């Protein structure tokens, strides 16, 4: 407002002044004044007196967090610097968390499951490493705000289908378009490992099933070998699929192996460690990983556990084995990320972590499984995933425990310091009918 008043005053003087020297002097004065006003303005927000769950295992009671120009500049117990003109948010009795990261889902790539035209998460064919989910990401999706409402601020948009589905990207949950939403573009490629399970109900004998599995693995080996030779060729004719494999083969991109079976996990890891040792691996699904913990510890491969709200894979397993698996893996020193595949279902991510708490994890360990651990696997832990100085100010303020659906009530949320609109279609409908029936 002050800058506008000064601008108006000097503009009038410039219009009424005939001397060129005076006009030049007044113009310089205008620029200096506007610069001074700009320096006097601040984009600082202070969140005070809350309980801060940093995402790295630490908790600060009755602390202070400062956001400046989209970054966290202070988080601690006592603020010793005086900030003028800062916006202050009182968070007494509330809890502050890093923005949650939902891995292994296709939010933004799908709208209505029953309407084919709204599904943009798969392509025909078996090998599609050149398919990029980032350009299909729809920031106007009605699903995304329902997930942000539960504290999820970032999502890994993952393609599905075939043997190699394509590349995933980490996206902001709110942005104008996919270019603005992108945080880590083409950070990994996803492969669906052939099932090693011999089913007595498939209608085929064991020999035929085994032969089909061996043929699929042979196709994978041929494809990776061809891609490797393509990278070594001096001037090859451009091939989009072969070209897309470059960063996987040199270890700059993560290869996400999707398989639930213990036998499949062992076979896939041995396959790549033996034949393509430079490939950086991560496991997705891995519901039977608890059976091979010692083997997994040897290779130090992160695991993205998919939907622990499920029945066990084996009939002989405890009925609550999926609930216990995260704690068993974390206790063994394995990096664990919790995820929920699909689109609409992914919003329940914090409650998966809450279930893991009931079965052995601490609350801070469970939080780390949907924040910092995910950021580390995605290679963006220098930007997001925890409340630490220098990182993006992407956080949520919650009325209670974010992992408990009874108290997961968001007071506010920010992505890179910008407020997140927590309104969504379901909130609007709930308000509409509450007003109608006087709830």
User: Average pLDDT in the 178-197 region?
Assistant: 95
Q: How many CA atoms lie within 13 A of 401 on its CB side?
A: 14
Give the pLDDT band (50/70/90) at residue 206: confident
User: Average pLDDT in the 373-402 region?
Assistant: 97
Give the pLDDT band (50/70/90) at residue 197: confident
Class of domain 100-385: alpha beta
Q: What is the predicted pLDDT for the residue at 17?
A: 56
Residues 6+ apart with CB under 8 A from 401: 95, 354, 363, 407, 408
pLDDT in tens, 3-48: 444 445 555 555 555 565 555 655 555 554 444 444 444 689 999 9
- % of the chain beyond a pLDDT of 70: 90
Give the pLDDT band (50/70/90) at residue 80: confident
Q: Has residue 56 got a pLDDT over 80?
A: yes
Q: Has residue 368 got a pLDDT over 50?
A: yes
User: Average pLDDT in the 159-181 region?
Assistant: 96
Q: What is the predicted pLDDT for the residue at 313?
A: 84
Token output for 98: 């890093």
DSSP for 230-264, please give it.
HHHSSSPPP-HHHHTTHHHHTTSSEEEEEE--HHH
Q: What is the predicted pLDDT for the residue at 39?
A: 42
Q: Has residue 78 got a pLDDT over 60?
A: yes
Q: What is the predicted pLDDT for the residue at 199?
A: 76
User: Average pLDDT in the 247-271 region?
Assistant: 96
Nearest to 186, CA basis, from 246, 233, 227: 246
Residue 222: how many CB atoms within 10 A of its CB? Answer: 11
* Helix-, strand-, coil-residue percentages of the chain, each rounded to 5: 40, 25, 40
User: Average pLDDT in the 283-295 region?
Assistant: 96
pLDDT in tens, 91-118: 999 999 999 999 999 999 999 988 888 9
Phi/psi for 247 (5° steps) reads: -75, -20
Q: What is the predicted pLDDT for the residue at 42?
A: 60
Residue-range domain boundaries for the chain: 2-40, 100-385
């Amino acid at each position: 407002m002050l800058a506008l008043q000064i601008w108006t005053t000097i503009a009038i003087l410039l219009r009424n002044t005939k001397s060129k020297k005076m006009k030049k002097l007044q113009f310089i004065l205008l620029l200096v004044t506007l610069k001074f006003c700009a320096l006097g303005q601040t984009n600082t927000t202070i969140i005070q007196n809350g309980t801060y769950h940093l995402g790295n295992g630490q908790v600060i009671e009755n602390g202070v967090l400062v956001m400046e120009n989209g970054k966290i500049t202070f988080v601690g117990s006592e603020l010793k610097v005086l900030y003028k003109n800062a916006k202050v948010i009182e968070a007494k009795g509330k809890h502050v968390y890093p923005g949650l990261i939902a891995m292994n889902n296709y939010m933004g790539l799908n709208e209505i499951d029953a309407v084919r035209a709204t599904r943009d998460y798969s392509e025909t064919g078996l090998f599609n490493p050149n398919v990029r989910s980032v350009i299909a990401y729809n920031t106007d999706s009605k699903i995304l705000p329902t997930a942000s409402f539960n504290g999820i601020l970032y999502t890994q948009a993952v393609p599905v289908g075939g043997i190699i589905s394509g590349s995933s990207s980490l996206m902001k949950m709110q942005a104008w378009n996919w270019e603005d939403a992108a945080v880590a573009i083409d950070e990994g490629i996803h492969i669906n490992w052939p099932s090693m399970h011999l089913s007595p109900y498939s209608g085929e004998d064991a020999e035929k099933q085994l032969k089909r599995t061996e043929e699929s693995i042979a196709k994978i080996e041929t494809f990776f070998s061809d891609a490797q030779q393509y990278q070594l060729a001096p001037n090859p004719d451009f091939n989009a699929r072969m070209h897309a494999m470059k960063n996987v083969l040199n270890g700059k991109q993560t290869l996400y192996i999707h398989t639930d079976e213990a036998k499949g996990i062992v076979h896939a890891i041995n396959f790549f460690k033996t034949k393509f040792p430079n490939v950086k691996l991560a496991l997705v699904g891995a519901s039977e990983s608890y059976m091979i913990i010692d083997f997994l510890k040897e290779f130090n491969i992160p695991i993205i556990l998919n939907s622990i709200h499920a029945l066990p894979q084996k009939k002989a397993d405890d009925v609550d084995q999926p609930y216990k698996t995260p704690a068993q893996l974390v206790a063994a020193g394995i990096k664990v990320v919790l995820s929920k595949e699909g689109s609409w279902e992914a919003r329940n991510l914090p409650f998966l972590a809450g279930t893991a708490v009931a079965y052995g994890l601490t609350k801070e360990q469970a939080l780390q499984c949907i924040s910092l651990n995910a950021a580390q696997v995605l290679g963006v832990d220098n930007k997001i995933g925890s409340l630490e100085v220098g990182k993006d100010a992407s956080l949520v303020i919650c009325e209670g425990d974010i992992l408990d659906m009874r108290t997961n009530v968001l007071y506010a949320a920010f992505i890179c310091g910008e407020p997140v609109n927590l309104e969504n279609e379901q909130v609007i409908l709930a308000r509409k009918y509450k007003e109608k029936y006087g709830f």
